[in-house]
Amino acid sequence: MIPFLDLKAQTRTVGSQIDAAIARAIRDERSTWRREARAFEKRFADYCNVACCSAVNSGASALRLALLAAGVGPGNEVITVSMNFVAATAAIISCGATPVFVDVDPVTWTMNPALIEAAITNKTRAILPAHLHGLMADMDPIMSIARRHGLFVIEDAAQAHGAVYKSRRAGSIGDFGCFSFYPDKNLGAHGEAGAVVTDQPELARRVSLLLDRTQEDRSHVFARCDDRIDEVQAAVLNVKIEHIEAWTEARRSIAAQYDRELSSLALARPRPPSHNRHVYHIYALRLLDRDQALAMLGRAGIGVGIHYPVPIHLQPSYVELGYRVGDLPVSERLAREFLSLPIYPELLPEQPGIVAAEVRKVATQETRLFQSNWAFQDKMPRYGRLA
Ligand SMILES: *Cc1c(COP(=O)(O)O)cnc(C)c1O
């Protein structure tokens, strides 16, 4: 058995440090000073290479705060992607605004910048790309479109702690970067936690106005949010942030091994451009017959994940947005065909090789399917060997 994720394994490696940190946080009589939270905010801002960080109680809260601080409200539209975890879309709706989806690029699986301009209207207030699976979206064209149209850019970086695009860290390019420290993320607390980062002090001030209930200046128009991080979660994160670089490198070397061992097969993967540092929150593959692959890998004791099987624009809870099958063909196709392999720093040295061997067996079947499946013809790039 190789589980898709093994959080206990991580707790075994840093558990005693965490126990001590939690005990310290609990014993600190002046926990209202937010000693742990402030220390973490400073560290995480440094890690992202930005001036300001507000630690909060989840990635979803981080997204909502960034949207509110960008002035997003009823009547506004926010351009985002459907090929993502649902939190960003839900946050846009919770601000009273409307999400407008654009399709993703078939090579990187992130927001396709060529589609953004056609989606802009006089109601658009922000663009919210996601760094899916740990690979940053193509930020240069996104930023230049946003600047040309006077729009905010909010990065959903919840899967991309430490990812890099052209020498710049995830969260540091847009006006805001939003992170989650849910336990299964690359940097995870032991419960709910998240952060909003920004390099612009004025925007940081707006976020802290939203967060600080003792704020003297009550003239601000913001609704107050009780979304701050608690000291215990911050204490856990202060321990784990010391390990994030080593953990990320471990993920990257497992990904490199998968790439190598699967390179000769007819499987499609997102291809990171060379200026990106992909941090592999998820290692994803496309398979023609995913159900068969799931069954075969399941029988072999390999834990696999699907993130996410139904694109947001086709989920029943979002029918009111008015999208139909076929509106976002690349996102829909990826949602049908991709699955993710186990990738976490605590995998034992022999385990990625075992996983790759099982995937090779599945892919042999795939190749046969590929040859007989003449319906598999559309504008998506053909299954092929990676460059
Ligand atoms: C996990 C995640 C979130 C939400 O974070 P929570 O801390 O669970 O609220 C948002 N966006 C993406 C891409 C995520 O993976």
Provide DSSP, 82-133. SSS-THHHHHHHHTT-EEEEEPBPTTT-SB-GGGHHHH--TTEEEEE-B-GG
Look up the CATH architecture of domain 244-377: Alpha-Beta Complex (3.90)
Convert the pLDDT of each residue in 135-187 to its tens digit.
Answer: 999 999 999 999 999 999 999 999 999 999 999 999 999 999 999 999 999 99
Mean pLDDT by 10 residues, the chain (387 residues): 91 92 86 87 98 97 97 97 97 97 95 98 98 98 98 98 98 98 96 97 94 59 74 96 97 97 82 95 90 91 89 95 95 92 96 95 68 38 34
Query: What whole-number distance in Å separates Cα of residue 361 and Cα of residue 75?
Result: 52
The average confidence (pLDDT) of the chain is 90
CA-closest candidate to residue 10, choices 364, 333, 346: 346
Tell me if domain 7-242 and domain 244-377 are identical in fold: no
Query: What whole-number distance in Å separates Cα of residue 382 and Cα of residue 97?
Result: 37
Pocket test for ligand 1, best of 109, 180, 190 (most atoms within 8 A of CB): 180
Long-range contacts of 351-358 (CB under 8 A, 24+ apart): 351/2, 352/254, 352/257, 352/258, 352/261, 353/257, 353/261, 354/2, 354/302, 355/2, 355/258, 355/302, 356/257, 356/258, 356/261, 356/262, 357/261, 358/296, 358/297, 358/300, 358/302
Q: How far is the CA of 91 from the centre of ligand 1 (A)?
A: 11
CA-closest candidate to residue 196, choices 90, 56, 68, 92: 56
Residues with CB under 6 A from ligand 1: 58-60, 84-85, 87-88, 130, 156, 158-159, 180, 182, 192, 194
Can you tell me which atom of ligand 1 is nearest the CA of 87? Answer: 10
pTM: 0.93
Convert the pLDDT of each residue in 304-318 to its tens digit.
Answer: 998 778 999 999 999
Can you tell me which atom of ligand 1 is nearest the CA of 180? Answer: 7
Supply the residue whose CA is at minimum distance from atom 12 of ligand 1: 158
Q: CATH classification of 7-242, choosing from 3.40.50.300, 3.40.50.10330, 3.40.640.10, 3.30.450.20? A: 3.40.640.10
**Cα four-point dihedral sign 105, 361, 283, 260:** negative
> Where do the structural domains in the chain lie, given as residue ranges?
7-242, 244-377
Single-letter code of the amino acid located at 167: S
